[in-house]
Amino acid sequence: MKKGIFLKLSLGVALAGAMTLTLSSRVDAAGELADTITFTEPAETLVMPFNVTTGKASFEIVSRIGGSGGAIIATHWSYWSADCRHLADVIICLTQDDTVVVDPTSLQGEIQVGTQNVKTGPVINLTGEEGMVTVTSFRASASSQEQRECVIPDPTDVLTDQIVGSWTIANTATNAAAGFSAIGMSTGVFPDAGTFLGNSSTRLPFFIQTFNPTTLTDSEVILITTEFSEFSGNGRFQGSEIGPITFSGSPKVCCDATFIDNLEVAVSLPDVCFDCVGFNPISDNVAEAGETSLIPPTTAVNSSGLLQLTNCTVQDPEGTTDRTSIGDSSQTQFIFAFHGQAVGPFGTIATGKYTGGLES
């Protein structure tokens, strides 16, 4: 059984807790990465990891605190596996200041009818899968406004600055868990990989913090790809939604890796390669059977430090045979990172850090 991540938190307490949100829709972007993403303000699209493999449970919470008036919006939830398979779609309608909690092992659509939230469609169970989910806001149909059904009539009619969200991944045996705010994104304003991850000339690094790997009792580094192109999204939403990286071949992404300890000593590591979402422990001492750690057992690391990833390359979908730096790709793509880690009962989530946008 895999170890869980990571904060010592009862699932019952985590899900029962209530959150009162009174913010209104933002007028101007005030996010990170040159105002292209946000963790704290309403967004058009939310991106989150999930993991319901053996011994894991996941929950996603989404609230509609943006927009104004009484109109219902429709949110499209699209689940993707770590190896890029499209897994499921559900549509959930939200009223103003509405909140929904979703369990990937029991997915259903939903609409509020009168004073009741009514489930719609078949139950979808993603047990055994891990990957990512995107939640995108759309204008709902007239029948949705009349609370008869939840329908998106136009898959290109996205709504900006509508929803916020958070996610949790937990160990069902120990109730150790970790979570963070969803990545808020927009199809109209996407992070520039050339600026923050570099091109073939600059090959800029990004960084993932870790406590001393030898003292960790749990660790999961999660790497998430995103893309907005004519190929991203699934089915009728292809070309109008953010999704995972789309081109064929495996591994889809490979990055050079280095560990930098707290004396600034750099140690070269094997390349980090993954498809749409990567799930790996930081070191072998917290790896379970079948898992490959980012720091191999033959490499001695005994301090806190930084996992530095640089020169992240992709197979460009234009048909070239050579890999290219993600900042040179013909598609609009980006990589995000989380590291859930614990020392005994004390845990944290560290998000990937980027310095490419800083002025010299």
- Mean pLDDT throughout 313-331? 81
The neighbouring-strand residues paired with 91 are 76
pLDDT band at 135 (very low <50, low <70, confident <90, very high): very high
Query: What pLDDT shows up at residue 250?
Result: 87
Query: What pLDDT shows up at residue 272?
Result: 98
67, two tokens: 């927009």
C-alpha span between 108 and 150 (Å, rounded): 12
Query: What pLDDT shows up at residue 70?
Result: 79
Instruction: Please state, as a whole number, how many other Cβ atoms lie within 10 Å of the Cβ of residue 230.
Output: 11
- Mean pLDDT throughout 64-79? 92
Termini Cα distance of the chain: 47
64, two tokens: 């509609």
* Locus of tokens 């605190």: 65
- Mean pLDDT throughout 267-288? 95
Q: What is the pLDDT of residues 3-40, one digit of tens each?
A: 333 333 333 333 333 222 333 334 444 579 999 999 99
Task: Kindly report which listed range (23-27, 209-213, 313-317) carries the lowest average pLDDT score.
Answer: 23-27
Query: Would the pLDDT of 2 be above 60?
Result: no
C-alpha span between 233 and 78 (Å, rounded): 8
One DSSP character per residue, 56-113 reads EEEEEEEEE-SS-SS--EEEEEEEEETTS-EEEEEEEEE-TT-EEEE-TTSEEEEEEE
Query: What pLDDT shows up at residue 173?
Result: 64
C-alpha span between 301 and 210 (Å, rounded): 11
Q: What is the pLDDT of residues 230-247, one digit of tens each?
A: 999 999 999 999 999 998
Task: Give which of 78, 13, 50, 126 is closest to 338, Cα–Cα.
Answer: 50
24, two tokens: 């209104």
| Contact of 206 with 198, CB cutoff 8 Å | no
Q: Which amino acid is at 301?
A: V
| Contact of 15 with 182, CB cutoff 8 Å | no
Query: What pLDDT shows up at residue 21?
Result: 30
Task: Kindly report which listed range (4-8, 123-127, 173-177, 286-290) carries the lowest average pLDDT score.
Answer: 4-8
pTM of the model: 0.90
C-alpha span between 243 and 246 (Å, rounded): 8
